[in-house]
């Protein structure tokens, strides 16, 4: 049953180019515990290794590209299991059992058994070893000194982190709860309210402490963007592109629930998630606004603005491996245009000497370095360095003269962050 769910979800993806959240949610509602973990392994593992899997299949099947979509999906699912920690016999038989047509069953069975015999005889190109599309692989290799770390991160399992909500709880309370529930954790030195969860046996979002708002599951690189903005209690702050609310709630925590935060997003469903998180976390100083931040108007100006811009999200591949399967320069240039429209509008709404932090979760420099260089030609901005913070946290980075590309590891994801002071018009 789990493999059937995985097959249907993957078939939809390979046909449409997007994961069906409805199909995923429906599958989760029908499964429990280990079966949910197995489903995630099959779906996200197959997507993560698609480049590598297709390399093998193109060598094993002369006309693989012209195979029916359902057959290609079944073969990909089967080869992924044979590349992973599944027993060969079980992987082949469970995969073949998904096929109803006898002729196709025999074909799938023959291909998978042929793969078992030949898999160690293939010489893999470097990009295929990391299962990264050729064009994106070459882009990273050309543009980043730490390219090997970026390649490795695509196949790396990232640990979950929780941010203690100090508005309702404390580091000590959460630490005691984790110990009592035999949840192994560690603390990032210098970020004492951020706990790295090393155990995998618990779904944190299903716990009572999560429901009570005592913690928020957050990417630590995203956490840094709010920390670097560093608002004070009296500030009026704009969180642009705010959903699902991790940075909004962190900003409120930094400000001790004082001052004012305006949280903007253009998607009503995602904004409702922000509102739910704000309520769950006991936050009182946030107003949510449904609007497009490239055109939104306010009758006042902000002390500080955090823009975690809509982007091509290529650095999220350790969690969302499908992003690399659709990554391309054309889409990145489209995001660049959108980001510049947003920045142009936001500078109308920031006070003189106000601070803006710009961040993305992509490696494409069109959306980061080139945007920051464009800002220097069109606005009075002074870029502020914060390498001392990154050094104190032992985070590897590459500085482009404007901001910092965070190099990923098993805790921090790839991220770009730039901090600037606006001189006014």
Annotated catalytic residues are: 361
* Backbone phi, psi, residue 100, to 5°: -90, -40
Q: Classify residue 408 by its DSSP letter.
A: P
245 is in an annotated binding site: yes
66 is in an annotated binding site: no
299 is in an annotated binding site: no
The three-state secondary structure class of 107 is helix
How far CA 190 is from CA of 119, 171, 393, in Å, comes to 46, 13, 6
In terms of Cα–Cα distance, which of 239, 232, 276 is closest to 254? 232
In terms of Cα–Cα distance, which of 401, 342, 345 is closest to 376? 401
What is the DSSP track for 283-300?
A: --SEEEEES-TTT---SS
The three-state secondary structure class of 252 is helix
* Continuous H helices in 97-156: 102-118, 126-129, 134-143, 147-154
246 is in an annotated binding site: yes
311 is in an annotated binding site: no
CB contact set of 420 (below 8 Å; sequence gap of 6+): 355, 356, 357, 358, 375, 381, 382, 383, 384, 402
In terms of Cα–Cα distance, which of 342, 256, 251 is closest to 295? 342
Q: Is 300 exposed, middle or buried (0-12, 13-18, 19+ CB in 10 A)?
A: exposed
394 — alpha (psi -120 to 50), left (phi > 0) or beta?
Answer: left
How far CA 356 is from CA of 190, 228, 315, 390, in Å, comes to 23, 10, 22, 18
Count H helices and E strands in the chain, helices first: 19, 13
380 is in an annotated binding site: no
Q: Which residues are annotated as a binding site for S-adenosyl-L-methionine?
A: 241-247, 265, 292, 308
Q: Which residues are annotated as a binding site?
A: 241-247, 265, 292, 308
């Amino acid at each position: 049953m789990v493999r059937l769910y995985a097959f249907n979800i993957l078939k939809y993806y390979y046909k449409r180019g997007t994961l069906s959240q409805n199909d995923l949610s429906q599958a989760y509602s029908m499964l429990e515990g280990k079966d949910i973990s197995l489903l995630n392994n099959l779906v996200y593992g197959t997507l993560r290794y698609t480049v590598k899997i297709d390399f093998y299949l193109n060598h094993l099947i002369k006309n693989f590209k012209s195979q029916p979509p359902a057959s290609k999906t079944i073969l990909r699912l089967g080869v992924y299991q044979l590349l992973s920690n599944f027993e060969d016999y079980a992987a082949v038989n469970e995969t073949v059992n998904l096929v109803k047509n006898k002729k196709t069953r025999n074909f799938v069975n023959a291909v998978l058994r042929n793969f078992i015999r030949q898999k160690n005889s293939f010489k893999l190109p470097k990009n295929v070893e990391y299962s990264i599309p050729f064009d994106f692989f070459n882009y990273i290799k050309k543009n980043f000194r730490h390219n090997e770390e970026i390649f490795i991160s695509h196949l790396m399992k990232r640990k979950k982190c929780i941010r203690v909500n100090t508005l309702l709880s404390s580091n000590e309370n959460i630490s005691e709860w984790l110990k009592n529930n035999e949840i192994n954790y560690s603390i990032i030195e210098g970020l004492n309210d951020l706990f790295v969860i090393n155990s995998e046996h618990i779904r944190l979002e299903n716990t009572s402490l999560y429901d009570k708002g005592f913690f928020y599951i957050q990417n630590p690189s995203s956490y840094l963007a709010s920390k670097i903005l560093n608002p004070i209690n009296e500030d009026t702050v704009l969180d642009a592109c705010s959903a699902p609310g991790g940075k909004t709630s962190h900003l409120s925590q930094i400000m001790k629930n004082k001052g004012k935060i305006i949280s903007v997003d253009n998607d009503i469903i995602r904004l409702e998630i922000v509102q739910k998180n704000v309520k769950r976390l006991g936050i009182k100083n946030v107003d949510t606004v449904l609007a497009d931040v490239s055109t939104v108007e306010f009758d006042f100006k902000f002390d500080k603005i955090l823009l975690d811009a809509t982007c091509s999200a290529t650095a999220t591949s350790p969690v969302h491996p499908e992003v690399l399967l659709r990554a391309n320069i054309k889409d990145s240039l489209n995001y660049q245009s959108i980001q510049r429209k947003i920045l142009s509008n936001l500078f109308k709404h920031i006070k003189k000497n106000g601070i803006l932090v710009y961040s993305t979760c992509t490696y494409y420099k069109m959306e980061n370095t080139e945007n920051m260089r464009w800002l220097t030609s069109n606005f009075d901005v002074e870029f502020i360095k914060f390498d001392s913070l990154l050094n104190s946290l032992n985070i590897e980075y590459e500085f482009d003269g404007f901001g910092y590309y965070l190099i990923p590891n098993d805790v921090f994801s790839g991220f770009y962050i730039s901090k600037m002071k606006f001189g006014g018009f």
